[in-house]
Structure 1
């Protein structure tokens, strides 16, 4: 079910080849799923089965994350470049204006694709880009601390920790409100994904100036925020609504920054409603 596709993007140094890994399930209208920084496409596993009953679901590893190779040397991980890569990915897969759903960094990318007219609808779960400078510094500092912890822990230590509820909470409570619901194998895999991703530092560097300041007037937009998001505080959802007045703003009770794990049924229902 996992496949790699290659395509070319335009850069200041000329046309360059980029590859990306994706998984595809189900049938119906296409829905592209984009994960957050340091994560991988498996973040969507709690909801892909539900969505695939009604949609053609394409979960993507962003360039430099998961199993997708890094961008070519000298190619920036900024919003225009990565959005261009995702647009070319959709072209290569034969997806014309799919529904696009993203979490965190993926939510920011989904909004940018909507702004460019490349998405039929956009669903953004705790999207990046609506922070104050202080909130951005806090989020980036927290992410760097998580990355350093993942780099410092040998695999056997991660595996032992993931086998206990306390260990899973220690590893993932920053992004999940209910970390003990996450299977041990998934916690190990996402800790390794955070440790091994080549796109982490260049994405953070590019994100210092990342703010989403444009309306998306011609595309239906849903913004959903977990009530227990500890990384990007939910007041940022109110700012998102001010920037995109026509967006539907939804609260996800009891959910953290990566809500798909905390309440899969609720998140799947939000996505299915938004993409109808």
Structure 2
């Protein structure tokens, strides 16, 4: 089910009305899916059907991305505000401490929700916030270049490029290790999503000072990193493990920064394993933790 929801969220500027777009499918304990900067909820499409066999899956467009409106004027697209919005969104949908999985920016948001004890478990795929300043500048430079390219390319050219594996590689190889697997329609849609993302500039600006330095106690945490991540380099996973010592650290061989497309079966298994709260402690010892 695709829908939009308007709700009131508490913010640093008082209660504000926010509208977010989301998809909801499946049955079971709720699982909230959060995408990365410049992307949209459809980034999760390759794994949603698998996840929905065990979970009620809610994939949401973050504020200012996809079909969700930007935050009201004067509200910063920062970590604190966005997580307040997500908390209010879950409350408005009647989601009682859902599991959460996030990629990149979404992974950082998921960890922050976990730190605030607003969720049952966290699975973070290549989460932002574990970079050095040089690594952050490198990643932001790539993202800015991708955004500039997406805005400059005429739609007919994007459509033409998307019809070939080589064209899809040219458009998406920064985030996918296997861009040829992405459908032409999906490549066109996410190029447009990046070009039109109202929240991109403000979110990137807010991320300049972000470092995730706190533990996430009391809940199961999985951190997974694509072995071929070109945006947030895999060594950042080691820092994540040091910051959250009890986290299960998993390597995703052959996967890039957005691994859901590169290996849907593996990513779905990692997310489901991470969201099986009663089995999480056993999983941390039985599921191999691989050094990155």
Normalised TM-score (structure 2): 0.94
Per the TM alignment, residue 16 of structure 1 is displaced from its structure 2 partner at its CA by 1.1
Equivalent in the alignment of 1:246: 246
- For 1:133-212, list aligned pairs within 5 A: 133-212=133-212
Label 1:31 to 1:12 Cα distance change in 2 as closer, same or farther (>3 A). closer
Per the TM alignment, residue 8 of structure 1 is displaced from its structure 2 partner at its CA by 1.6
Give the distance between the partners of 1:23 and 1:144, measured in 2 at CA: 28
- Cα shift readout 1:70-89 (whole Å, capped 9, x = no counterpart): 10000001100000100000
Give the distance between the partners of 1:239 and 1:7, measured in 2 at CA: 36
Equivalent in the alignment of 2:101: 101
Unaligned stretches of 5+ residues in structure 1: none
CA RMSD of aligned residues (A): 0.6
Per the TM alignment, residue 11 of structure 1 is displaced from its structure 2 partner at its CA by 3.0
- Cα shift readout 1:101-130 (whole Å, capped 9, x = no counterpart): 000000000000000010100000000000
Matched, 1:36 2:36: yes
Label 1:182 to 1:238 Cα distance change in 2 as closer, same or farther (>3 A). same
SS where residue 22 of structure 1 aligns?
Answer: strand
Per the TM alignment, residue 10 of structure 1 is displaced from its structure 2 partner at its CA by 2.6
Equivalent in the alignment of 2:61: 61
- For 1:205-220, list aligned pairs within 5 A: 205-220=205-220
SS where residue 36 of structure 2 aligns?
Answer: coil
Equivalent in the alignment of 1:6: 6
Paired residues, number: 276
SS where residue 14 of structure 1 aligns?
Answer: coil
Give the distance between the partners of 2:236 and 2:243, measured in 1 at CA: 11
Normalised TM-score (structure 1): 0.99
SS where residue 110 of structure 1 aligns?
Answer: helix
Unaligned stretches of 5+ residues in structure 2: 277-292
SS where residue 228 of structure 2 aligns?
Answer: coil
Give the distance between the partners of 2:217 and 2:15, measured in 1 at CA: 31
- For 1:80-95, list aligned pairs within 5 A: 80-95=80-95
